[in-house]
Structure 1
Amino acid sequence: MFEGFVTIILLILINLALIVLIQNVIQTNPGVASGIFIIKKSLHFGPFHAQIWSYQRIVMGLFAVIDVIVVWWRLIRRYHQYQMNHIIQELHYIAQGHLDHRIPFRLKGRSQHVVTSVNALVDSAVRSMDDERQIEKSKDELITNVSHDLRTPLTSIIGYLRLIEDKQYHSEEDIVKYSHIAYEKAKQMKNLVEDLFEYTKVQQHGAPVNMMQLDLSQLLEQVSASFELEGHNKGIEISSTTRPSPLMIEADPEKLGRVFSNLVANGLKYGMGASYIRLSAVEHQGQVQIKVANDGEPIPEKSLAHLFERFYRVEASRSKATGGTGLGLAIVKSVVDLHHGTVDVTSTPDETAFIVTLPIKQPKEAKEAADHEAN
């Protein structure tokens, strides 16, 4: 307002100076005065033919219009500068570490776009920082879990080999027994390392996916056949069915085979008392739904939401007999995500079922990315 007041004073002084100059020009030039008089007499306005009796009125009116425009422009310009300075102050406050603060006021015009963009940028930065912290936390948890799961069998291996090294055995049967235990623990470590490698490989951004046309019927039959002997030894019948047959989809055969192998292996390990493991696939509206079901003991309801987390194991499954790494189902979810599908689980006293839903045809972007990785 002070600047507006000063601007008005300066404009009045400029107007007076210009009027004095115009009057001097007219008074010192009789021809100009005569021309103005002739124009004044010839101009009529309105129905009553009103005349302009003084050129000063025209000059003053013109100056008044110009003054109003200049004052308005100056005030609006200064007001926008004031708004921008206020936004900059808010930005400095946020930059000092107050990341929970947002610019609270609403403006008009482009200034509001600036405020909205700043608030959105801060929100995005906070989300990125939270994601980064979550990733770091996830990495720390991964290292901790891997270290724990590797240390346990490694301690047993070193302990039994030390007994043999120090000749703390009574017979050759003891040597065979200790060696066998160490061998089983070493296999457990190998399985963990392989699962960990597979999990990190599918978790990597831009993990290569070899998409191609494959017959899901044949894939499920191959998975069933590979576990047939193990299932027979446990009294579990393993079978597969598809509708229609053959059932063609676009997928990575190696990774998809790993998915269903992990689900069948999971049923064999943890489906206590099961008599069957059935793999079934049905096509419906451009998608295929694959169910891997068994009639073993149900999974506790509180555990269903955590099954696909890394290293999560149902409490009853932490026995040495199962030897699970806790990565099998996490690998399943990661591979299914790579195929733009979903995986769910249901468990009742009658049946536990893992349901994988995949698109028949992969999105165009996914196929182009797969082709790029292949090249």
Structure 2
Amino acid sequence: MKLKMTSKEKRELLLEILFTLVLLLAADFAIYILLNEWTRHIPGVASGIFDIKMSLTLGPNTVKFGNWGLLFVFIATVFDSFILYWRIVHQYRQIQLYHVISELHYIASGHFDHRIPFVLNGSMQRVVESINALVDSTVESMKEERRIEKSKDELITNVSHDIRTPLTSIIGYLGLIENKQYQSEEDLIKFAHIAFVKSNQMKSLVNDLFEYTKVRQADTPLNLMTVSLMSLFEQLEASFELEAKEKGMAISTKMPDGDLKLEADPEKFARIFNNLITNALKYGKGGKNIYLSARRMSDDEIEVQVSNDGEPIPHDSLPQVFERFYRVEKSRNQKTGGTGLGLAITQRIVELHHGTIKVESNNHLTTFVMRFPVEQPSKEEKVEELD
């Protein structure tokens, strides 16, 4: 919207115009009197004015003035008009600047959802746009800072909870051993075993937390190499074969386009599939199969899927499965629930490889769908993406 001046500002602008006009007319009158005296007493002045009159042209025609007074009025009118216009523009810009500063003070007082609403002309409009852009950037930075602070608080809360639970058990059972409150050697072995299992749970949490913190860093380095998906799938089948049999499940692969290769960090890339297969074995209750498949989408992109036919993920949990510490299994049971970091780590590693990941789940299959570029962008291309 256009800037609307107040009645007071309009009066001040009008007074400024009248005051400037009076000063200019007074100056013109004084100069006219002075020139009149000079022409009467100094012949050279009159001769010079005559020469100026004769040399004035306007286009193809010569401008003729009956006497030097008309010439003076013409020159004074042009000069006064320019000065008056400049003063009006200057005063109006001062009014605009006052409104901009008032709006800025209003925003600075805590009204961060407010923006300067009016549209100005020229450089003042660029100032308004710059201020609004700066406020937007500042507000976004404040929101991001609050999100980070909230994220830190949640991290501390979740880590404290997940460490305290096994730690309480460890202290409890070691306390029984320390105070010799066991009936037999069999009880002693049982208590020590429980403490050992709980210690491993804590170790798993610390390892996942360290890995998550490491991959969350924006400058996480990737040791890029050419990775064969067929070889990777064969290694995964072999490493999870025994665990899958114990769960009554089988792992199979499908690669309709033959062996596919892409550029990736082998260690981090394998972590993606380790996490997804571990999740399928742990949470795919009633399932019999885990499927690994890959296909070429284009010359530059490959799609990889990890599926299982176990219990589906509830529809309302799908948008949250990649959130840190989120568990579909709400009880945070240490036997069935993991650290809640596995899928968050998986998503971040996919992003580090400039890929995408999503999850689909129905009564037949739960599928994690990932897409990766065949070649990772160079440093120059990354800079262009940021720009």
Fold shared per TM-score above 0.5 = yes
Q: 1:260 to 1:85 in 2, by over 3 A?
A: same
For 2:276 and 2:226, the matched residues in 1 are separated by: 22
- Deviation of 1:205 after TM superposition, in Å, equals 2.3
Which of 18, 21, 24 is equivalent to 1:11? Answer: 24
Give the secondary structure class of the aligned counterpart of 2:117.
coil
For 1:40 and 1:325, the matched residues in 2 are separated by: 96
- Deviation of 1:328 after TM superposition, in Å, equals 0.6
Q: Which amino acid aligns with 1:170?
A: Q
Q: Which amino acid aligns with 2:77?
A: A
Q: Which amino acid aligns with 2:91?
A: R
Report what 1:313 is aligned to. Answer: 327
Q: Give the unaligned 5+ runs of structure 1.
A: 370-375
- Deviation of 1:241 after TM superposition, in Å, equals 3.1
Give the secondary structure class of the aligned counterpart of 2:113.
coil
Report what 1:346 is aligned to. Answer: 360
Q: Report whether the alignment pairs 1:154 with 2:191.
A: no
For 1:175 and 1:282, the matched residues in 2 are separated by: 54
Q: Which amino acid aligns with 2:96?
A: Q
For 2:262 and 2:283, the matched residues in 1 are separated by: 30
Q: Which amino acid aligns with 2:152?
A: K
- Deviation of 1:265 after TM superposition, in Å, equals 0.4
For 2:59 and 2:174, the matched residues in 1 are separated by: 118
For 1:151 and 1:85, the matched residues in 2 are separated by: 59
- Deviation of 1:114 after TM superposition, in Å, equals 0.8
Higher mean C-alpha deviation, range 26-35 or range 83-92: 26-35
Higher mean C-alpha deviation, range 141-150 or range 82-91: 82-91
- Deviation of 1:43 after TM superposition, in Å, equals 9.2
Q: Report whether the alignment pairs 1:222 with 2:235.
A: yes
Give the secondary structure class of the aligned counterpart of 2:207.
helix
CA deviation vs aligned residue, 1:98-131 (integer Å, no higher than 9, x gap): 2222222221111111111111111111111011
Give the secondary structure class of the aligned counterpart of 1:174.
helix
Which of 350, 353, 356 is equivalent to 2:370? Answer: 356
Higher mean C-alpha deviation, range 96-105 or range 12-21: 96-105
Which 4+ stretches in 1 moved above 6 angstroms?
37-50, 366-369
- Deviation of 1:367 after TM superposition, in Å, equals 8.1
- Work out whether residues 224 and 263 of structure 2, in 8 Å CA contact, stay in contact via their aligned partners in 1: yes
- Work out whether residues 224 and 265 of structure 2, in 8 Å CA contact, stay in contact via their aligned partners in 1: yes
- Deviation of 1:38 after TM superposition, in Å, equals 8.6
For 1:261 and 1:48, the matched residues in 2 are separated by: 93
Give the secondary structure class of the aligned counterpart of 1:261.
helix
For 2:267 and 2:102, the matched residues in 1 are separated by: 57
For 1:48 and 1:175, the matched residues in 2 are separated by: 121
Q: Which amino acid aligns with 1:302?
A: D
For 1:50 and 1:161, the matched residues in 2 are separated by: 113
Report what 2:115 is aligned to. Answer: 102
For 2:310 and 2:55, the matched residues in 1 are separated by: 110
> What does 1:18-167 align with in structure 2 at a 5 Å threshold?
18-30=31-43, 32-33=45-46, 52-167=65-180
Report what 1:195 is aligned to. Answer: 208
Report what 2:268 is aligned to. Answer: 255
- Work out whether residues 199 and 331 of structure 1, in 8 Å CA contact, stay in contact via their aligned partners in 2: yes
- Work out whether residues 270 and 317 of structure 1, in 8 Å CA contact, stay in contact via their aligned partners in 2: no
Which of 332, 339, 351 is equivalent to 2:346? Answer: 332
Question: Across the two proteins, how many residue pairs are aligned to each other?
Answer: 369
For 1:247 and 1:48, the matched residues in 2 are separated by: 85
Report what 1:169 is aligned to. Answer: 182
CA deviation vs aligned residue, 1:12-70 (integer Å, no higher than 9, x gap): 11111111121122111345546766987999999999953222111111101110110
Q: Which amino acid aligns with 2:225?
A: M
Which of 297, 308, 311 is equivalent to 1:284? Answer: 297
- Work out whether residues 53 and 71 of structure 2, in 8 Å CA contact, stay in contact via their aligned partners in 1: no
- Work out whether residues 345 and 354 of structure 1, in 8 Å CA contact, stay in contact via their aligned partners in 2: yes
Higher mean C-alpha deviation, range 189-198 or range 88-97: 88-97
- Work out whether residues 327 and 337 of structure 2, in 8 Å CA contact, stay in contact via their aligned partners in 1: no
Q: Report whether the alignment pairs 1:184 with 2:220.
A: no
Report what 2:9 is aligned to. Answer: none
What's the % identity of the aligned pairs? 53
Report what 1:373 is aligned to. Answer: none
- Deviation of 1:240 after TM superposition, in Å, equals 2.4
Q: Which amino acid aligns with 2:147?
A: Q
- Work out whether residues 313 and 361 of structure 2, in 8 Å CA contact, stay in contact via their aligned partners in 1: yes
Q: Which amino acid aligns with 1:206?
A: D
For 1:71 and 1:2, the matched residues in 2 are separated by: 12
Report what 2:4 is aligned to. Answer: none
For 2:54 and 2:307, the matched residues in 1 are separated by: 106
TM-score, scaled relative to structure 2: 0.89
- Deviation of 1:317 after TM superposition, in Å, equals 7.2
TM-score, scaled relative to structure 1: 0.91
Report what 2:313 is aligned to. Answer: 299
Report what 2:257 is aligned to. Answer: 244
For 2:71 and 2:44, the matched residues in 1 are separated by: 19
Higher mean C-alpha deviation, range 258-267 or range 20-29: 20-29
Give the secondary structure class of the aligned counterpart of 1:309.
coil
Q: Which amino acid aligns with 1:72?
A: Y
For 1:334 and 1:42, the matched residues in 2 are separated by: 81
RMSD: 2.6
Q: 1:73 to 1:43 in 2, by over 3 A?
A: closer
